Amino acid sequence: MNSNTNLNLEDGNLNKANSLIISIISNKGGVGKTSIAICCGIYFAHRQNKKTLVVELDSSPGDFGPLFDINNDNSLDIAIKFPDRFKNYVKNIYKNLDVLKGFSNPINAESIKEIEIQTLFHLMSEFYDVIIIDTQTVLNGTIIDALKISDNIILVSESTIESLSRISELISILNNKFLIDKNKFQLIVNKKRFFDLFKVKDISKILDFPVKGFISFDKKFNKNLIIFNQNSFIRSKLNIEVGNLINNFISSGVINEFAGKA
Ligand SMILES: Nc1ncnc2c1ncn2[C@@H]1O[C@H](COP(=O)(O)OP(=O)(O)OP(=O)(O)O)[C@@H](O)[C@H]1O
Ligand SMILES: [Mg+2]
């Protein structure tokens, strides 16, 4: 634990943050986790006018460095070391949307203690209304710690039987081994093409976990627009569909906007 932090770690309050925390996970690479995390960030910052942070828990390596032009001196490594100075290490990318780049070195991610993650998120959640966590395909201790303090976990699958059944296994591991509440999970299918809808409906009958939403394949989508042409990113089909999906989750009570607020 870092001496710069004046929090009382004995008070037991560090487990629960004040902001709404949503993690985006999948056990398949390239499924759209980062794109969806950024669209969620835009949804809360732009449509809901909330102070929002997207944190990258991906050191495989992640995308945020090249995508947002952030160097290794401003990353999760340093924010974990000096948690009460986290504001110095985040980058504002759009109105009230900030991002925090992931660990510059995957070895660093392995040595982080649960209390360090809790402390950083606790401090960040006093400042942000919403924190979105983008993760890497291979889970590690840090991601598990972050999932434990997340209010909602969005699992992203492709519309193949292999991808959906692997996601189903992931849910049972997270639930049985790491005791993460099954009610936190929302399974969605990304990159859906027209005929996939019928296929997924069939597949989901044999899964014990319902598919809660679909995002279409958007052949024009380009993540880089978030930097080079934000209006075009906001107008993209993918961004609009992710926004509508999150909006539905909120109106149906699946996501509680005020989670964590006293
Ligand atoms: N709905 C979609 N339609 C079309 N392309 C998409 C869609 N979602 C994501 N993509 C594209 O798929 C690629 C992978 O997306 P992304 O980087 O968001 O996935 P990821 O799961 O974060 O990958 P990684 O496992 O490498 O972290 C990108 O080129 C992105 O533009
Ligand atoms: Mg990614």
Domain of 77, in residue numbers: 16-251
* CA 53 – ligand 2 centroid, Å: 16
Residue at 127: amino acid letter: F
**Would 224 be classed as within a structural domain?**
yes
Ligand 1 nearest atom to the CA of residue 223, by list position: 31
Answer yes or no: are the C-beta atoms of 142 and 114 closer than 8 Å.
no
User: Total structural domains in the chain?
Assistant: 1
Peptide bond into 61 cis (omega under 30): yes
Give the pLDDT of residue 153: 98
Exposed / middle / buried, residue 29 (Cβ in 10 Å: 0-12, 13-18, 19+) = exposed
Does residue 259 sit within a domain?
Answer: no
Q: Is the CB of 30 under 6 A from ligand 1?
A: yes
> Does residue 78 fall inside a structural domain?
yes
- The CATH number linked to 64 is 3.40.50.300
Q: Which amino acid is at 253?
A: G
Whether residue 177 is contained in a domain is answered as yes
Is position 2 within any domain?
A: no
Which atom of ligand 1 lies nearest, measured to the CA of 217? 3
Is 8 part of a structural domain of the chain? Answer: no
Given a contact cutoff of 8 angstroms between Cβ atoms, the answer to whether 156 and 24 are in contact is yes
Whether residue 262 lies inside any domain: the answer is no
Taking the C-alpha atoms of residue 51 and residue 67, their distance in angstroms, rounded to an integer, is 21
Q: Which residues on adjacent β-strands are paired with residue 54?
A: 99, 132
- 96 in a structural domain: yes
The predicted structure's pLDDT at residue 171: 94
pLDDT per residue as tens, the chain (262 positions): 343 444 444 444 455 568 999 999 999 999 999 999 999 999 999 999 999 999 999 988 899 999 999 998 899 999 999 999 999 999 999 999 999 999 988 888 888 999 999 999 999 999 999 999 999 999 999 999 999 999 999 999 998 888 888 998 999 999 999 999 999 999 999 998 877 766 766 776 667 788 899 999 999 999 999 999 999 999 999 999 999 999 999 999 999 877 655 4
